[in-house]
């Protein structure tokens, strides 16, 4: 594979971490996983979004930056490929949805300062699934603080992601994950692996069998 840094993105419950684990195992890649459970504001945010959105997003940005900067600067002679289950720009995308305009402008200024210090991925894999599928996955993984996420919030995140991808030049593998079962259906995983072994210009759309 010609890529050195691949990032997997998608809405809450899209299957990013599961796919990241499977691809890292297949390609013997270094794996970077988001440490969302370390954010003390996450349960509070779902209970009171307006009060806790800013510290939530600020904490996420600081932790993601530190993790990516530390890991991507380390050279591993045995692993030439790194796979991450998040894109640093998701900080800005979620903040766009959760923050009021004045707080978002401040947040964006901070984001712009540190974003340029990070290595950008060679390829973005975006998992797109309908909100009904996302909610089913969220219920299945049974994290208590996620069980009451409104459909509207997921719709807004979805729209923000798709608008961002349309406006960027980043090479993107856009996967229809409506019926994705990467753990239970070998054909689904193989379809993604086969797609990764090709080179693309711009955006490429993949449907799972």
**pLDDT per residue as tens digits for the range 111-151:** 999 998 898 899 999 999 999 999 999 999 999 889 999 99
CA–CA dist 12, 25 (Å, integer): 23
Neighbours of 147 (CB within 10 A): 11
Helix (H, G, I), strand (E, B) or coil at 70: helix
Neighbours of 165 (CB within 10 A): 16
Residues 72, 5: contact at Cβ < 8 Å?
Answer: yes
Q: How many domains does the chain have?
A: 1
pLDDT value, residue 78: 55
pLDDT value, residue 199: 77
Helix (H, G, I), strand (E, B) or coil at 93: helix
Kindly give the confidence (pLDDT) of every residue in the chain, 209 residues in length, as a single tens digit, with 9 standing for 90 and above: 788 899 999 999 999 999 999 999 999 999 999 988 889 999 999 999 999 999 999 999 999 999 998 877 776 655 789 999 999 999 999 999 999 999 999 999 999 999 988 988 999 999 999 999 999 999 999 998 899 999 999 999 999 999 999 888 889 999 999 999 999 999 999 999 999 988 777 889 999 99
pLDDT value, residue 77: 53
Pick from 206, 190, 172, 199: which is nearest to 2 by CA? 199
Q: What is the model's pTM?
A: 0.93
Domain of 27: which CATH number? 3.40.50.300
How many helices and strands in the chain, by DSSP H and E? 8, 6
What are the residues whose beta carbons fall under 8 Å from the beta carbon of 112, sequence distance 6 or more? none
Domain that holds residue 158: 5-207
pLDDT value, residue 104: 98
Q: Which stretches of 27-89 are assigned E, i.e. beta strand?
A: 30-32, 82-84
């Amino acid at each position: 594979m010609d890529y050195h840094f691949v990032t997997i993105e998608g809405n809450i419950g899209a299957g990013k971490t599961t796919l990241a684990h499977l691809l890292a195992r297949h390609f013997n890649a270094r794996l970077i996983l988001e440490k969302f459970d370390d954010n003390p504001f996450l349960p509070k945010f779902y209970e009171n979004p307006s009060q806790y959105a800013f510290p939530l997003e600020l904490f996420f940005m600081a932790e993601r930056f530190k993790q990516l900067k530390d890991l991507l600067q380390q050279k591993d002679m045995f692993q030439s490929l790194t796979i991450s289950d998040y894109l640093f720009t998701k900080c800005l995308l979620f903040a766009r949805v959760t923050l009021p305009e004045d707080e978002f402008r401040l947040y964006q200024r901070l984001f712009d300062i540190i974003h340029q210090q990070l290595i950008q991925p060679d390829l973005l894999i975006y998992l797109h699934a309908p909100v009904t599928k996302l909610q089913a996955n969220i219920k299945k993984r049974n994290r208590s603080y996620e069980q009451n996420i409104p459909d509207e919030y997921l719709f807004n995140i979805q729209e923000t992601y798709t608008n961002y991808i349309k406006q960027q030049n980043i090479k993107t593998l856009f996967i229809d994950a409506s019926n994705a079962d990467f753990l239970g259906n070998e054909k689904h995983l193989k379809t993604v692996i086969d797609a990764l072994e090709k080179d693309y210009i711009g955006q490429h759309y993949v449907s799972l069998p």
